[in-house]
Structure 1
Amino acid sequence: MSLVELIGQADERGLAASGLACLDRCVPLLGGDDEVLRPLWAGLADDAGAEEWAERLEQVRGKLGGDGEFGATDGEPGQAGTGDLSGSAEDEAVLLARRMLAAAPEQPSDGALRVWADACSVAALRIHRLLDPLKDVGDSVDARREGRTEGMSPLVAAELRRQITVLELLAGHGQAGLRPALEVSTEGRRVLRAVVSRRSRRRG
């Protein structure tokens, strides 16, 4: 089953976990530590209500500096609303990660979570494509999500696998799938942190 199909069939918990996992793997771009999203993961495990989700989301945004200022930026890097971004691959990746955080729904309904999970899926794949030292040739990110995977670069292929795995875990195991989904996301975050660190050393 393709990633697009999995998102289309996911329930609210699966959608929330999918979006949250994409954001979690991209936390290194936002300067956050490895525990910054744990309150939101814990809320999914505890079946926290909408009000508690909103409170925890606000706390996370406060820690990561994403209190909504990136929520309505539709321009390309370097245009109005993107701060002092210069348009490099790293800058664009950071902008995409901030948009993921800003777009997280404060009222986690099925419809809002589906839109967020889908947007996070696209953004996370684009981030990995931007930062992969090897070129992802051929098809677009949308094509990758639909199952056309020929010529994928290693970093993008690994991110696609992780997104699919998280959704399959939640679809197959429900609440019990959250812990292994978090482990998958943690592995991906370590990989991206290493990639960001290597790119920073090269620039330095």
Structure 2
Amino acid sequence: MSLVDLIAQADERGLAASGLACLDRCVPLLGGDDDDVLRPLWTSLVDGEAWGERVAKARADLGEPGDADPDCDSDADPGFGPGSGASPDEQAAFLVRRMLATVPVESSADALRGWADACSVAALRIHELLDIAADGTSSVAARREGRTDGMSPLVAAELRRQIAILELLADRGAGGLRLVLGQSTEGRRVVRAVVSRRARGRA
């Protein structure tokens, strides 16, 4: 089953965990080193409590403003083109901030599905931006639909991780959250290592 199909079939908890895992893996791009800043949101997925309050706290802890403009399109092109002057790292950080800014404070299926879908796209695009082996010609949409020929290693690993997380939650429900968190933590280590390597290369 493709990633698109898995998102379409996921329940509220699966959607929230999928989007949160994408955000969690990419947090190192915001420059902090607090790996536990999103842990209260993971706790909300277990106890079903205080999601909105914990969203607000996570935004504050990561130096982000409150709720995004309700008219903001989370799938909109950020406007980074060949002449924009924005580096791949800047583009990636923008996408992480947008994931954080658009976390729904109401955990309805419709709101979470749109956010989880946007986070999936953003996380794959971020990994493409960070991967020196990516040639910039791939289609994230095609990857999510199952057309995976010629993927760069970092993007391929992120796609596998997203699929594995949704499959775990579909099979095990809340009982799969610990395994999902482990998958996300490992992905965050990968991103942190890539960010560190890129910084050394610019030094």
How far off is 1:137 after superposition? 6.3
* Number of residue-to-residue matches in the alignment: 195
Q: Which residue of 2 aligns with 1:13?
A: 13
How far off is 1:139 after superposition? 3.6
CA offset digits 1:118-157 (Å, max 9, x no partner): 0000000000000001025654000000000000000000
Matched residues in 2 for 1:76 and 1:68: separation?
Answer: 22
How far off is 1:109 after superposition? 0.4
Matched residues in 1 for 2:137 and 2:179: separation?
Answer: 32
Q: Which residue of 2 aligns with 1:152?
A: 151
Give the root-mean-square deviation of aligned CA atoms.
1.8
How far off is 1:172 after superposition? 0.2
CA offset digits 1:14-64 (Å, max 9, x no partner): 00000000000001011231100000000101122xxx1110000000011
Matched residues in 1 for 2:193 and 2:161: separation?
Answer: 17
Deviation above 2 Å: which 4+ runs of structure 1? 68-75, 136-139
Q: Which residue of 1 aligns with 2:51?
A: 53
Query: Which one of 41, 64, 67 corresponds to residue 66 of structure 1?
Result: 64
CA offset digits 1:58-102 (Å, max 9, x no partner): 000001112248754854249xxxxxx950000000000000000
The 5-angstrom pairing of residues 149-188 of structure 1 reads 149-188=148-187
> Any gaps of 5 or more consecutive residues in structure 2?
none
CA contact 2:128–2:136 (8 Å) conserved in 1? no
User: What is the TM-score normalised by the length of structure 1?
Assistant: 0.91
Matched residues in 1 for 2:55 and 2:67: separation?
Answer: 15
User: What is the TM-score normalised by the length of structure 2?
Assistant: 0.91
> Any gaps of 5 or more consecutive residues in structure 1?
79-84
Matched residues in 2 for 1:126 and 1:160: separation?
Answer: 11
